[in-house]
Amino acid sequence: MPLSVSADRLAHVAMRCAVLLAKLDSAGRPVDRTGSGPVVEVYPAASLRSWGLDHSGYKQPTRPGALGRLVDHLQAKAPWLDCSSCEQTLRRSHDALDAVIAAMTARAAIQGHTRQPGEADLAVAKTEGWIAIPNAPISQLL
């Protein structure tokens, strides 16, 4: 028997997102789920992978050095990214790092540097959504 949706860790996030999308729509900002509107769906690990950053284990408490190494590699690949005011937080919290990666991916989407759905995927993307995955190096986000 499958778990109830309420048991899923993502269920609360999905419900909150649905509320926010409905509020945008009612405020006259309809959301295009294909990623070409005011909202993009982001999976930080997918962005990290597309930028060639090793993200394995950075969320596992049993691998405490992985998060710090990822921050080091991110700063090396994106020296323009000023994390001086939050660097220690990024080294302690994978959630904080995910927020930075999500913001960088949103910037990539605004600049047209993410993969777009092709004709075969467009119908599904309009209802299910499209995950923004960068298709350009971090250096082009500047």
Summarised one tens digit per residue, pLDDT across range 89-115 is 999 999 999 999 999 999 999 999 999
3-class state of residue 134 by DSSP:
strand
- Where helices occur in 3-142 by DSSP H, the ranges are 11-26, 44-50, 64-77, 87-92, 94-110, 119-128
For residue range 13-43, list pLDDT tens digits in order.
788 888 999 999 999 998 888 988 889 999 9
Q: How far apart are CA 33 and CA 90, in angstroms?
A: 29
pLDDT > 70: what percent of the chain?
A: 94
- pLDDT for 13 equals 79
Q: How far apart are CA 84 and CA 139, in angstroms?
A: 19
Q: Which of 99, 101, 124, 114 is nearest to 36 (CA)?
A: 114
Q: Can you say whether the dihedral through the CA atoms of 124, 128, 129, 130 is positive or negative? A: negative
How far is CA 130 from its chain centroid?
12
35: left (phi over 0), alpha (psi -120 to 50) or beta: left
Is the model's pLDDT at 1 over the cut of 50? no
For residue 27, count CB atoms less than 10 angstroms from its CB and return exposed for 0-12, middle for 13-18, buried for 19 or more: exposed
Q: Which of 55, 61, 95 is nearest to 77 (CA)?
A: 55
Is the model's pLDDT at 5 over the cut of 60? no
